[in-house]
Amino acid sequence: MSDRKPGVPVSPYDEDELRELLEETDYDTELGMELARDAQRLVAGELSEEVFHDRYHEAIVDEFGVDERPLETIAAAFEAEHTDPTGFFERLESGEHSRRDVMKVGGAAAGALAIGAWGTAEQARQDGQSMASGDNPNQDGTRWGMVIDLDRCDGCLGCVKACREENHWERGANWMYVMRYEDDSRSSGEDYLVRPCMHCSNAPCEKVCPVTARHTRDDGLVLTDYDICIGCRYCQVACPYGVNYFQWGEPAVPQEELDPNHTHDGRDRWVDSRPPKGTMGKCTMCPTRQDGLLGEDKVGTVACMDMCDEMGMRAIHFGDLNDPDSRPNRYLRQRREQETGRRPGHDTTADDFMQTSTKEQDISTFRLLEHMGTEPNVIYVGNQPGPNAEQVDGPVSYEAQGSVDRRKDVLDDGADADQRPWVYAEGGDDE
Amino acid sequence: MSTEVSRADLLRPLHTTTKQYWLLFVAALVVTLVFVYAYSLQLRHGLIVTGLADWGSGGGVTWGIYVGGFVWWVGIAHGGIILSAAVRLFKMERYTPVARLAELLTIGALSMAGLFIVIHLGRPDRVVTSIIAAYPETVHTSPLVWDVTVITLYFVLTGTYLLLTLRHDIHQLRGQLPDRLDPVYTLLTVGYTESEDRVSQRLVWWLALGIIILAPLLLHGGVIPWLFALLPSMPGWYGAVQGPQFLTIALTSAIGSVLVLALAFRKAYGWEHIITDDVFRGLGLWLGLFAMLFLWLQLQQVITGVFAAPIDVDQATAAKLNDPIYWVAIFGVILALAYLAAQALQPHVFSLYGTVAAGILVVTATLIEKTFFVVEGLMYPSFGLYASVPGEYTPSWVELSAVAGSLAMVVIFFLIVAKVIPVVELHAIEGEVES
Ligand code: SF4
Ligand code: SF4
Ligand code: SF4
């Protein structure tokens, strides 16, 4: 594990990269992208073959100069990809089409495959039923979660900053927290733990909440209803991971400055952005994004992941863990293939990874404090911190990213100010 | 002694008011007002005025002396009612003179426990609406809701209990009670007939039985410790021993408080013949017994925590043992126990003030131990990877003023109640109801 970062290639499951790929060919990029998306819908049964054919036949013939219904070839190959993990291109080739044809539509075909692989969350959700292979009991509905590849993290804290800019939490209320640590039992000096809320399937924080303010949505997101929370902080005490951050004073960013589309989720409950005074906040996994309130293109994304991708690190992979084609599940399969040379079944999901009995041949995956029975929905790839691991300073400070590491320092200033109320009369403010 | 003289003795607090009374009243009022001011600051600015902070990366603890104070007052309250129920159930007539004091203490202490829950909250304005709305669901899962439920139940039980025994006394003494409070007495004795005594005596007995069975098992040996003991996230809290441990704290702190109250009333009203040395001697013995149990259960935790404990438990225990605050609490109890044990073996060692001092020592030690338990538990979580773990906590003056304020309010409560009703039962000086 010492030759870490360089050995790990960039994930192919990114729309931008796909676009680049298509742009490198001589063919029309937009057409390729469109085609790829619709191919996915065709397979999902949302689009009839007739419509698909009418929509693209002409354009394809013009563009690629092939008159042999390459669309159906792509679609068939794509469909087969879902039932048989044999190589996609081999399947294309084995048909009645010549290698030449295949190569000609290669750009579009790659697009179709990659888009399918990338599987936007919106599609994943809509396609939930038709995609799920019926024999896996876990695969009913959406279950948002993350795969975080710790080997790819370099501690830049970009995710922390992005989350703060998106959610406006107080300095030090690090909904996303990244810690570098050292562990006696290992020699390598650069280990990171990226710690959002785990959105546990069996969340102790929810269990203890005396008012059901802390609750789990149908899609697995564990949220606080800011309109109900009484600020008892029992959730914070019961959560073994320490991901909750209370709103001790008046928020620095006033209510009027928050985007109303970014406070109430699709059920119209106030669960997103920083909490109001006296209630509990934590990483939300961006429910207003998932509900499409911030635009369709943000569905299936979270701010921290976007930033991580932007920085070129691609350590965070958010998506529907129940969907074999979601970004996190795809990423895990690809990662294993890289590491072991063996290709996992095409519908292997995060759950299968965690259950596999041949761990030593696999990549190192773990869930944090799994023995506590919380069933966390964040799956890590990389080293697991041992019981004697200790946090050390990372390469980038929290101050440099607009936050602060130890929140108590900020709070104590506020507490002092409040304990000397005449300071307040002069217009002092907390944080 | 003549019944009439004793009755006059009993009613002395209602008819005489000394300068010391007013001094104490004003002092308590001032402390209460300081707390009211402090709390108004907290309402305005939020809990940022406390010394609390987020645990984990935040470097603080999120529950502090408010929760410690809550647990402490609940302990006193529950111990108080257990004491009074034991008097009725097991006919421990020796303690009848302090039974009503214990009941009143339960009412006062339960109110303070409720107060501490409310001031602990970030949004106290919602406490009723939010809790009631979610009750059908949360009662299955949230230990905090169990606490609220059981405390409410106990408030009602104790109130009924107190009222039933009070009605008889007020009826009997009506002629000698201050006239200006007539409306209060009319209200308290509404619908009273002498034939009710027999029924209410039965009822009181059953209530006492219920309390004796429920209180230890469900209350301070149950839902209160479960608030902590059920959470594996904090190894300092987790585990089955907390039930009995909390119960010993409830009993010791309640007996300690009753000792203080009994001495205060005895001194103030010259009640040497009503609350006799015998009462103190006996209560001292019980206090010693429960203090011993308290220490024994502490020992259980320390031994399991150091011998071959899992890493997180081991760390939590080591930290506890290295903290002087812990030893202050433990030695406080050891000292009290040593004195009380000597007194049990050598009756001539007995001294009134010594016994009450032992009581105060134990009550203080249990407040320290309970707050320490809450805070230290949060300082050593299972997941201790954060550099800012263990967190730090020093209660702010706002928080400390709440502890002082709650004490002051209980003092005021007793000062007022003593002017309205006889705080010692008529039975204590006249025996059972003549039929
Ligand atoms: S990580 Fe903590 S706050 Fe998040 S769901 Fe799990 S228990 Fe709750
Ligand atoms: S702080 Fe709010 S969300 Fe957390 S347990 Fe209390 S009421 Fe529930
Ligand atoms: S998922 Fe959303 S709320 Fe959670 S850390 Fe990432 S950006 Fe922040």
* Block mean pLDDT (10 aa), chain A, length 431: 34 51 62 66 59 64 53 52 44 43 44 41 36 39 96 95 96 96 75 96 96 96 97 97 96 94 96 97 97 95 97 96 95 86 75 59 84 95 89 94 93 66 42 37
Q: Measured from the CB, is residue A166 less than 6 Å from ligand 3?
A: yes
Tokens for A273, please give them: 């952005």
CB–CB contact B383 A240 (8 Å): yes
In sign, the C-alpha dihedral spanning A99, A103, A109, A113 is positive
pLDDT tens per residue, range B311-332: 999 999 999 999 999 999 999 9
What is the DSSP track for B356-383?
HHHHHHHHHHHHHHHHHHHHHHHHS-S-
Interface of B with A in 95-124 (CB under 8 A): 120-124
Decide whether any atom of ligand 3 lies within 6 Å of the A404 Cβ: no
Q: Which residue of B has its CA nearest to A371?
A: B232
Residue carrying the six token digits 């396609």 = A127
Quote ipTM for the complex. Answer: 0.92
Spatial distance between the Cα atoms of B401 and A339, rounded to a whole number of angstroms: 61
**Nearest residue to A333 via CA among A357, A360, A358, A362:** A362
Mean pLDDT over B90-100 rounds to 89
Confirm if B256 and B328 have CB atoms less than 8 A apart.
Answer: no
B194-225 tens-digit pLDDT: 888 888 888 888 988 888 888 777 788 888 99
- The residue of A411, A424, A429, A431 whose CB has the most chain B CBs within 10 angstroms, and thus the best one to mutate to test that interface, is A411
Beta bridge partners of A378: A146
Consecutive H or E run containing B20:
helix B19-45
- Alpha carbons A363 and A367: distance in angstroms, whole number: 13
Q: How far is A169 from chain B (nearest CA, A)?
A: 13
Atom of ligand 2 nearest to the CA of A246: 1
Ligand of minimum distance to the alpha carbon of A200? 1
Of the bound ligands, which one is closest to the alpha carbon of residue A284? Answer: 3
Question: Is B101 exposed, middle or buried, given 0-12, 13-18 or 19+ CB atoms closer than 10 A?
Answer: buried
Between A233-242, A356-365, B93-102, B370-379, the lowest mean confidence (pLDDT) is in A356-365
Q: Which 3 state secondary structure label does DSSP give B62? A: coil
Q: Residue B205 and residue B86: Cα distance in Å, rounded?
A: 10
Share of chain B above pLDDT 70, in %: 98
pLDDT at A138: 42
Cβ-Cβ contacts under 8 Å for A417 (sequence gap 6 or more):
A423, A424, A428, A429, A430
The predicted pLDDT at position B6 comes to 76
Task: Flag whether residue B352 sits within 8 Å of chain A, measured between CB atoms.
Answer: no
Ligand 1 within 6 A of A199 CB?
Answer: yes
User: What Å distances lie between residue B244 and A169, A334, A369, B210, B322, CA to CA?
Assistant: 42, 54, 29, 19, 24
Average pLDDT, chain B: 91
- In this prediction the pTM is 0.81
Interatomic CA distance for residues B85 and B89, integer angstroms = 6
Phi, psi of A281 (to 5 degrees): -120, 160
Do A390 and B387 count as a contact with CB atoms less than 8 A apart?
yes
Q: List, for residues B66-87, the tens digit of each pLDDT value.
A: 999 999 999 999 888 888 888 8
Does B137 reach chain A within 8 Å, measured CB to CB?
Answer: yes
Domain boundaries, chain B: 7-17+51-395+419-428
Nearest to A232 among B48, B121, B382 (CB): B121
**DSSP secondary structure of B283-349:** HHHHHHHHHHHHHHHHHHHHHHHHSS--HHHHHHHHHHHT-HHHHHHHHHHHHHHHHHHHHHH-GGG
Secondary-structure class of domain B7-17+51-395+419-428 per CATH? mainly alpha
B46 → closest Cβ in A172, A241, A277: A277
**Per-residue pLDDT, A13:** 40
Q: Which of A193, A284, A374 has most ligand 1 atoms within 8 Å of CB, for mutation?
A: A374
Inspect the interface and report whether the beta carbons of A415 and B56 lie closer than 8 Å: no
Instruction: Please indicate whether residue A11, judged by its CB atom, sits closer than 6 Å to ligand 3.
Output: no
Residue where the block lists tokens 């009710």: B196
In Å, how far is B98's CA from the nearest CA of chain A? Answer: 36
Cβ contacts (< 8 Å) between A388 and chain B: which residues? 311
Cα–Cα distances in angstroms (integers) from residue B231 to residues A235, A316, A423, B227, B234, in the given order? 11, 30, 40, 8, 6
Please report residues of B whose CB lies closer than 8 A to that of A389.
Answer: 385
- For residue B187, is pLDDT > 60? yes
Q: How is residue B102 written in tokens?
A: 């214990």
> What pLDDT score does B200 carry?
85
CA nearest ligand 2 atom 5, residue: A209
Is A406's CB within 8 Å of B57's CB?
A: yes
User: Radius of gyration over alpha carbons of chain A, in Å?
Assistant: 24
The answer to whether A414 contacts B48, with C-beta atoms less than 8 Å apart, is yes
**Of all protein residues, whose CA lies closest to atom 8 belonging to ligand 3?**
A163
Query: Using a CB-CB distance cutoff of 8 angstroms, which residues of chain A are in contact with residue B231?
Result: 204, 208, 237-238
Q: Write phi, then psi, for A270 (nearest 5 degrees).
A: -80, 95
- Those residues whose C-beta lies under 8 Å from the C-beta of residue A233, and which sit 6 or more positions away, are A244, A246, A280, B62, B63, B122
Ligand nearest to the CA of B232: 1
End-to-end Cα, chain A, rounded Å = 41
Please report, in angstroms and rounded to a whole number, the separation of the first and last CA atoms in chain B.
Answer: 21
**Distance (Å) from the alpha carbon of A263 to chain B's nearest alpha carbon:** 19
Across chain B, which distance is largest between two alpha carbons, in Å? Answer: 73
Tell me the pLDDT tens digit for each residue of B336-369. 999 999 999 998 989 999 999 999 999 999 999 9
Cβ density class A235-267: b for 16+ within 10 Å, e for less = bbbbbbbbbbbbbbbbbeeeeeebeeebbbbee
B380-413 pLDDT per residue, tens:
999 999 999 999 999 999 999 999 999 999 999 9
- Pairwise pLDDT comparison (B3 vs B263), residue with the higher score: B263
